[in-house]
Structure 1
Amino acid sequence: MSQFRGLYLSLEEGITLTGVGLYAEPQSGAFIAPGDPRARWDDPGYGNPGEDQFGAMGYGEVNGRRGFVFHDACWSLVKQAYHPAPVPHERLFEVLDSLPIVMAGDSIDWGHDYGGLAILQDGTDYFPWEYLRFSDRQFRDGLSNIPYSANPLAISEVEEILAEAAQSPPSCSLRLSTAGRDPFNKLPEELCYIIAAHLPTSDVLNARRVSRSFWRTFDSQSFWASRFRGKSAGRSWLFEATRELENAGGIGHRDWRWLYRRTSDARLGRAARNRKRVWGLICHVVDILDLCWNELPSELPLPWRSPPSVSEEPTPAPSWVLVAGSIRGWGQDFSLLQKGCARLKIQRVAFSADGISRVAASTVRLGSSLYIAGLSLTATSGEVLTLGYRGGGSERSIHLPKPAITGFNVAVGLGGIHALQCISGTGADRQLSPWLGCPDDAPKTERLSGATTSGLSMVLEFGFDGLRMVSLAARQPTLPADHSLRCSAIWYPDVPNAKLNLNEGFLVAPQAYTSGYGPLFWTSFGGPGGVYLASLIKISVIGVIDRIDFTFNNEEVPAECRSFGRIGDRVDNEGDDSDEVVEFPIDGPGGEIVDRVELHQELFLEDSNAAGFLCREGLLAWFKMYTNRGRTCEVGRRSESHNRRVVRKAISAPLITGFYGAQYRYLGSGITLLGVITEPLLGTKD
């Protein structure tokens, strides 16, 4: 598995597929392969010349070339997935160039665990924006006895399977349910076969239990052959079985039912199981590559208008309010966030906000995450404008009510836009549409809730990478009237409701979170109006302010109220405080509450050569809680350093019900920002 092919980009050669190279010196990071895709590293006379070297994966350009590498065996399977058409090299490079490189720069983050080869942590220990969720899986006995190291071409094993003589299937008895009427009895048997061919095998076998119309499906060779045909078929990885039928048609003379049983997981060897795994990953890539880009015409038809380009903007230029993922190349300042996407394409459109009757969104799945790939806007006149990508995946549309569309709520992750919610009308007429896309477990923002300019005109800019929408911006003559943290920040899991006081003055640099991508998370441990405070019996601070847990004597307190922050995997170093737990008992049933919080935020000095965010926002170093009984608990370190300054903050309130903050795993830091949520006492005004 040390033989590879490269797909690289250079100014002189464009996008090039290399021949087969040999990765013999992994420590050097050198990738050398012949430029002719028909050539190999072991061809007579080829000496792996340095001029054929190119930079790949996490390495920079070499010889003016940068790109990506594939195991040669995996590339052979990619070609089979596209057979008889060629692999679209340019489209593949565009998608690869949109994805982050992880695991020490040698793997692409497709949002999945590579079929079990890597570890993708769940949301219990990590936030969705933390890149450390993705890591290598360690195998106690190495790779020798597991499928991942076997050649996925599995040529000898496949040949052996196809050469085996079919055996008689085991006898089968089935008890049919006769309750109720069977609507399939009215259908011809041939039509039931066609229906079965488009269903998963498990669904067909279940259908046989309730309908006699599907009983004979079990003995239909056409049905079992359909399990092997088509990219989405469960046994499509055994493409050699159906390749012989491409010209002749039909199902041939093979016993497809026996072959289906022979290729079950329990009967496959290491190489065939690895082929099945890799083939499933390749099919996922092919689905993404099948997305079609919708190019806008140079002059948009009415009622759409083409807004001025950046160079044509008036002076002073109007402001743009932007929501975007963590885009590569934006901001040269080092960040705690992984760059999750790239902005490769831009589309701009202007229209009257009261002239839109319907909005539709196409989506694309990347691993376990769903993103918006493109949008379709339908005018009241019936004209449709399609932006971004469109494919064979799911699409959902919503009808907008009569009030004009005024803005959007956005669910946005590291990799781009997960979902949009349209806002129509204002004041008492304000209406929220259902979400387009999937907002689940994604940070959300109301930054674009007012996206119209004067006269109900809307000017939008959409940014895309090679597969999804990564940014959405609205042009406005002035900054939005509500530039508060609640409206402008990106929040997880949802935007805090307006009844909660966020006390922005308690933060060192609240403006740092009202633009760009820097999610804040929050927890209301006290519940609405402090309803759970009477059940609070202990506050525990874990690690170096990695997480704060709240213990209640009431099992009905929701799980989301019981913890603030997430820990993830930590490297235990001798003498550190990563496992320290500070416990602070609270007599909530007796009326004791936290009514004051103090903290020290450490900011690095400008001349300390520290990253810019450490100078602007700093790190939470220490905080102290007070109760209404005069008891205190302090955690963290009040350190003094010549290259840092300490900003001290304090807040007192009769009803502290929650915390909000930021947490980006880096250099052992836990919660980097702490804000305090308060609510008015019952019977008092806000």
Structure 2
Amino acid sequence: MAAPWSLGGPTEGRIPKDTETDDSWGLGDVPAHRQTDVYLIHDVCWHRLLGHFGPNELHLGSLFEALELLPYTPGYSHRTWRPESLLFLRTSFEHQDIRHDGRFGLPVLEELMRLGRDPPPAAPSTHPRRRPGRDCFQRLPLEIIEAIAILLPARDVLHLRCASRGFVAIFFSRAFWKSRFEINSERGFLLPVLRNYFERRGGRQAEREMDWRLLYHCTCKLSCSWGFRLEIGTWAVLRWIRDTAMALHAGRPRPLDFRGMGLYHYDNSLERGTYREVVDIHAPVCQIAVSVMHETARPSVTGLEFFFEDGSRAKLGYSCRGAREIHGETRWKHEDMPNPYFYPGVRVTIDIENFHGFSVGRDEASVCGVLILPGMGYGVGSFDTLERFAVGDYIQPRPYHPCYSSLDEVYQVTAVSDSHKIIDLGVLGRGRRRLSQISEERWQEVAEWLKRVEQIPAHWNLR
């Protein structure tokens, strides 16, 4: 059942008792919790999720289906639970006091705007010749133009100015730029930052004085901590859950499934000094070339090149000139050989039959290694797979890695890079529900353990 395990929380954020009806719980569309699987959600996380839904938008049945399509969190999966294991996620923030009210490292607004510049002066007014009947948008009032623009990404709206003079006024529309900062819009991740700012600066008056267009411009290239990037990633996942749940409930096509950091298109922002590249997987992939170079403490993946069966190819990042060319499986590595990744590095071309995504080894600075995933049923935890499909500083994978890294069909690969290396990778495509990946025996094992530690009621039967 897609509902939180809550102790003394608000009534809309708890599991209903057996005697309660849908109406008394207040959310409606409640699946029978004795016939489904269980999600345990902290109060803070549950209310963050609720913040993305408007009135009458939350339907628990569709929310449950959306949660079933999420990838597992790296390093934390019920498939690795043991009765004696601790139930928490280890992160580099484990011993750092940077989580406040359930959020990671929120910056102050002044920090995000410190590199802002005044907008350029407006061009002198011109009076073009009238061309009646050629531009239908010019006949619409600004209010309707704004209503249309608010539904579109800012990038698309700004491009529309090249097609219609009717959209030129949007660039100066305060209502349009302010709408970019609503929770499910491109800068929705800044909403808690803005709330803190307005509380410090006097509320409504500070909001009236805010230059929303300048703020949007300043946050296209972010200078922020790694913790805030995690915060942006959390916001993107919650928005994806909302979009997916609403699409499922309405019977519309749902958003593409993602693995890794595949939701960059939600915020259209980047860290300063980085850029984004996208490759569309338009045909079956027969080879992938991975370029790796070691200049700092660990190796870094610098480039990926895809070779398609139709003879075309596409590239992310770069391969250093003079890199050692290696073709075939990666069995060329052995323990007593010198580090093969030192400058100018290596370019390893691997033959594959199917491409289902990557399992990525990374630190705070870059992607250190990748494991190319041949499919869900592959023995990804074996040394044989590691030797054949892993390149770079890649840690021995766990058996559940395909569950959060692989998709049945990959449509798009996204890489975020700086001038030296790839920083992050993500894929979009179509995957499968979690339930089809987990055996019934494993679910029962997890359920019995949760009952013993009193995380779920003892009378629940999971089927």
- TM-score norm. by structure 1 comes to 0.27
Q: Which has the larger radius of gyration?
A: 1
Structure with the larger strand share:
1
- Answer 1 or 2: higher relative contact order, Cα 8 Å, separation at least 6: 2
TM-score (norm 2): 0.38
Higher helix share: 2
